[in-house]
Chains A and B, each alone.
Chain A
Amino acid sequence: MATYIIRRLLLVPVLLFGVTILIFGMLQFLTPVERSALYVREIPKNERQINSIILRYGLDQPLYVQYWRWLTGTKDQLTGERNGGILFGDFGWSRTGSQPVANLIRTRFPNTLDLTLWALGPVILVGIWLGVQAAVHHNGFIDQAGRMFSIIGTSFPTFVFGLLVLMIFYANLQWFPPGRLSTAMTVVVRAASFKSYTSLLTIDSLLNGRFDVFIDALRHMILPILTLSYLSWAVFLRVTRSSMLETLRQEYVTTARAKGLPERDVIYKHARPNAMIPVITLAGFTVVGLMGGVVITETVFDYPGIGKAAAEAAQQLDVITVLGFALFNGFILIIANLVVDILYAVIDPRVRLS
């Protein structure tokens, strides 16, 4: 197990290198002038200044020199100040956010994480539970209802579903508000007495003992969560169901029954762990899907997360910001895959011991 994890961890730098190469490659589609936004806030208009910036930050240098500078940044010869350098967390200046890209991520990402965690948890837990139930009661009521639910879920485009939900619950019924917080609660959160422990609003509000803030935040999140997770729910249910059906047909399940085990043990102790292997793969993909899904969902619900910021940046051709987000997303996916691979090993001894 330990060697497996170490070997898997050794892969992380390789993957990170791959991601940076990819993003850096994309940056090369920009002109040197546009790329200077990696280092300066205002791109100057007159040619002389432009040339001096290109010279100063080596934007005309060979690719490997530029790549290295992109990673580690440049030192100002007068002040000794470092400029740029994604390894130091400097992703350049976001034109649309009017702040460094890294800052933008720092303020927006917790909101997105808050949203995706609330979406992911129920998806995984209830999705797996429903999938198992559907397989155990094959062709029964839960199975049929689940199948209907997942067919609708997989065939609805996210933005259509989001708009529909918005129309019904926000416009017509007025049950749930859009945005992040109501004004009254924003005042509470902005106050000095409200401490930020995790930057995740729902968790912080609980830690501060402000249950009203928690409820308010959740109320604002319910529609985005619903939109974001419906597709994932549906896919989870289907994959768990079919994997479980397949597993229940295996001979070792008959062996377990022939041993005289109660059906509960046969299903939950013998069949389910085996059925989880493809589901874990799916969990990895789901994280990817959710990160993509937030772009649409947050835009539809005017939710101030990283997805909405990315959409705004893309609309205004703010490539530096978009690629900064892409880089950040790459990191998250690498971590998600790492977690998935470790989970494989936990569940399947054939992975752990080979």
Chain B
Amino acid sequence: MPDLLLDVQGLETEFKTPDGIVHAVNGVSFGLGEGETLGVVGESGCGKSVTMLSVLGLIPNPPGKVTAGKAFFFGQDLLKMSKEEIRHVRGAQISMVFQDPMTSLNPVLTIGRQLTEPLILHLGMTKRQAETRAAELLGMVGIPNAAERLGDYPHQYSGGMRQRVMIAMALSCNPQILIADEPTTALDVTIQAQIIELVKRLRDELGMSIVWITHDLGVVAGIAQRVMVMYGGFIIEEADVKDLYANPQHPYTISLLGSLPRVDETERHKLTSLEGMPPILYQKPNACPFAPRCKFVIEHCWKENPPLLDIEPGHRAACWVDPETGRSRV
């Protein structure tokens, strides 16, 4: 494997709630190569966002807490950094774009003010330099009359434009990694496509790595090289994007793909739906967390949580059963 830009090992995050401690992320390990785009897939509440927020120290504490793990970035463990140290990584070297552009921009500050902030903070620009650069950035993400629109407030922008602003803001300091947390979920389909195209174009121009969090497998197919599927705070499958779609190894992945209509299909088949909800784990499970919803479930699934096993080179899955044969792997 080539040198990893970001190397996360054994990450665990918990939340204290009135009902008990929720184990949101349970020993997640993954790597992100330079220039690579990693898709992170799963239903809502699978720990996708929490994993990424944990890496950047953005979990609100209390109630959240990163209890174990390492996250190496240029040889330094992000999780061990002081608040002051990690602040200089955020927005400068690793930046984030969030799901809902309607709420992720501050309604009482101008777009220009919000866009120039990281430039002044991380690159030490003067206000004037930052404003010039901010206008360039807005132009880069395809906002017309950029210089004039710096004085506008978020409510004067449409949803798609706000997400462009968010992207411009995230990329303003030329970060090595862009974490996109469901950036197209809240947008119209046509705008979604535009935003994805925009990010792809900027990735090719600027050459950053991307972590693209989504629950839309269709979107991932279009942008990612590698995909990891999460369930109940565990990574349950990880593979090359083509491999994952052609040869899914975890029943959960199979269900997700089965619920997705495909345009390249030749024969008709019914879309399947997956009943139930992902679990909220108040205890670390000693059974497979997917077992209650799994149609391949065998007795052993209730006794031991399967580890992430190498199925073939570059393809890992956490399941006791080989879904093709229905036979146990134990």
Contact = CB atoms under 8 A, between A and B. Distances in A.
A binds B: yes
A257 B86 CA distance: 10
A270 B106 contact: yes
A274 B109 CA distance: 10
Interface residues of A, number: 24
Contact of B87 (A139, A262, A270, A350): A262
Q: For this complex, into which size category does the number of interface residues on chain B fall?
A: 20 to 34
Nearest to B96: A258
Interface string A257-299: 1111111000001100110000000000000000000000000
Interface stretch (A76-84, A146-154, A217-225, A248-256): A248-256
A42 to B, nearest CB: 60
A348 interface: yes
B103 A263 contact: no
A253 B199 CA distance: 23
Nearest to A252: B106
Nearest to A277: B108
A353 B104 CA distance: 20
Contact of B58 (A138, A254, A347, A349): A254
Contacts of A273: 108-109
B118 interface: yes
A1 B107 CA distance: 17
B81 to A, nearest CB: 12
A260 B106 contact: no
B216 interface: no
B260 interface: no
Contacts of B53: 254
Contacts of B76: none
A274 B105 contact: no
Interface of A: 138-139, 250-252, 254-263, 269-270, 273-274, 347-350, 353
Interface of B: 53, 56, 58, 62, 83, 87-92, 95-96, 98-100, 103-110, 117-118, 121-122, 153, 155-156, 166, 169
Given A256-B106, A258-B58, A260-B91, 8 more contacts: A251-B100, A251-B103, A259-B117, A347-B108, A349-B108, A349-B153, A350-B153, A353-B156
16 contacts: A251-B98, A251-B100, A252-B106, A257-B90, A258-B96, A259-B90, A259-B118, A260-B89, A260-B92, A261-B87, A262-B87, A263-B83, A269-B109, A274-B106, A348-B108, A349-B155
